[in-house]
Amino acid sequence: ASKVVCVSHAVQKGLLRYDSKIKTRSIVLHNGINPLNLLPTEKESSITQFYLFGRIKPEKGQWFLANTIAKLSPTELKSSHFTLVGSPVSGQEYLLEELKNQLKKDNVLQYCSFVSFVDDISQEMSKADVCLVPSIMKDPFPTTVLEAMSVGKAVIATSHGGAKEALEESGLLISPNNTEAFTTSLRKLISSPDKIKELGSKAKKRFHENFTKEVFDKNWKSLLTEF
């Protein structure tokens, strides 16, 4: 190929480890999406709503979140709620039970809700104050981050893979499996609704400047004119 297009610098870096010779032929072209449509919801103002969207499996960070929730104080737990949206792969339903058992063992299951896989996350995203993307795996350029940014939601994400590039200074970044850093970030937002609004506003601005479908199409057309 005369050009190798990567969806993120993280992907490009990983690809070059396999074949360094394509460095001069590879470019990064970030993905772009249409914004989600927020739906009217009733909010319980005293509760910070945290949402994690993703397949139920350790690589997506649900166990990382569970270990972190257990570190919150009773007062912090009463001021927050965690909703996990997604289902295990067929045949691995036991993972959901294992996760719930861990939360129950740590006496925090009552602060969590579970929603099975949905085709359109607009309704659930509308209820969220903060979107959590604590993936242990290196997601190339997670769409969930862009979806949350598109509607002005604050985001906490792990600082590897493409999430770091999407957010930059418009979200909170944590190291994978660093429960202390994750706890600190959760506490910061539980105690400060203004910080949630500030991050959401920054994220929405960054999305519209960089990751809309229109920006994506423009970048692709610019690339094609080089051939």
Paired with 26 in beta bridges are 4
pLDDT at res. 40: 82
For 98, counting Cβ atoms within 10 Å of its Cβ (0-12 exposed, 13-18 middle, 19+ buried), the class is: middle
Report the predicted TM-score, pTM, of the whole model to 2 decimal places.
0.95
H helix or E strand, kind and range, residue 213: helix 213-224
Helix (H, G, I), strand (E, B) or coil at 183: helix
pLDDT at res. 39: 83
One digit per residue, the tens of pLDDT, for the chain of length 227 reads: 888 999 999 999 999 999 999 999 999 999 999 999 998 877 667 899 999 999 999 999 999 999 999 999 999 999 999 999 999 999 999 999 999 999 999 999 999 999 999 999 999 999 999 999 999 999 999 999 999 999 999 999 999 999 999 999 999 999 999 999 999 999 999 999 999 999 999 999 999 999 999 999 999 999 988 77
Q: For the packed helices 143-150 and 193-210, what is the interaxial angle rounded to 10 degrees? A: 110
Tokens of 66: 């569970």
Number of neighbours of residue 23 by Cβ within 10 angstroms? 11
For 190, counting Cβ atoms within 10 Å of its Cβ (0-12 exposed, 13-18 middle, 19+ buried), the class is: buried
Q: Give the span between the Cα atoms of 26 and 84, in whole angstroms.
A: 37
Number of neighbours of residue 142 by Cβ within 10 angstroms? 24
Q: Give the span between the Cα atoms of 189 and 50, in whole angstroms.
A: 10
Q: Give the span between the Cα atoms of 157 and 172, in whole angstroms.
A: 6
DSSP 76-118: HHHTEEEEEE--PPTT-THHHHHHHHHHHHTT-GGGEEEE---
Residue written as token pair 């870096």? 13
* CB-based contact 43:81 (threshold 8 Å): no
